[in-house]
Chains A and B, each alone.
Chain A
Amino acid sequence: MAIFDCVFSFTDVYGRMSRRNFPIEAINSAAAEAFAASSAPAIQALTGASIDYVELAILNPNALDAQALSNVDEEILINIVTENGHKVRLSVPTFNKALLVASGGLDTSLAAVAAALVVIGDNVLVSDGEVIALVSGGQLAK
């Protein structure tokens, strides 16, 4: 059995929203998803607020340790152009400054950087859900 983080969003007549956690114990994510969806009407029956969405999550504690000189105040802003031509920036804190060129820009000639940017470009959506058309590098945030 695993525990899944389930969040219901409640909105009242004044337009105010509140998120409440209802963790689910289930054998797998498919069972948890089915249970979350089927339980929404039962919760809705008890509350006058409208349930706007159900969010289900897998929580993975991660063992990646912080290295020397890592600093959450230092972040790289990755330059992105969306499918609609919008320019946005994606934040990655505790950036490894060894991956920068002298000007503070991202060294995209490094294989590790290039590969990471491809994965981000292929799998991340930005803004209100726009597909990334181009990842054109990045720079250290000021």
Chain B
Amino acid sequence: MNGVSIKYLDVYGRTATRRYRTVDQTNLADANDVAELVVGAVSDLILGGIILARKWRREVYAGALTGLANLDEGATFNCDLGGGTWGFVKLPAPKKSNYVLADGSVDMANADVAAFAALFTGAAPRFVVSDGEAVLAIPSGKLDT
């Protein structure tokens, strides 16, 4: 499934976003090409501006639900961005019994936690935080209060 979300702007500075699903493509590059056609078509019909086009493709993932999983609970990982700045990654419904210690901190030596942290600290492709800042290390994490 793929599509494009278009953010329209009027002369008064107000915005409106419309999400259009587009014909299915097997990769994001092709989905982007189709989305460009739609952006071009609506551009010819409007007086307003288009300030953002978010071209997306969705892949269904076969997830596994654990009993007692609760989205109101979360864990926050502290990300060292260098130069004394920090970023944060929040994960919902943590498996507390697997890696949260008695004091509420995250066991960073846990293999699953280490594998997760490596997704941020390795070479690209990698996860980044905030507006695209690279993570040097994830030294700690804790259960949200």
Contacts and interface: CB of A to CB of B under 8 A. Distances in A.
Interface string A38-49: 011011111111
A27 B32 contact: no
Contacts of A59: 52-54
B56 A57 contact: yes
Contacts of A56: 28, 56-57, 59
B49 A66 contact: yes
Contact of B63 (A11, A16, A24, A92): A11
A58 B50 contact: no
B11 A48 contact: no
Interface in B1-28: 1, 3, 8-12, 14-16, 18, 20-24, 27-28
Interface in A1-41: 1, 3-6, 10-14, 16-18, 20, 22-37, 39-40
Interface residues of B, number: 78
Contact of A44 (B1, B63, B75): B63
A12 B93 contact: yes
B92 A18 contact: yes
Interface of A: 1, 3-6, 10-14, 16-18, 20, 22-37, 39-40, 42-62, 64-73, 75-76, 90-97, 99, 112-113, 115-117, 119-120, 122-126, 129, 131
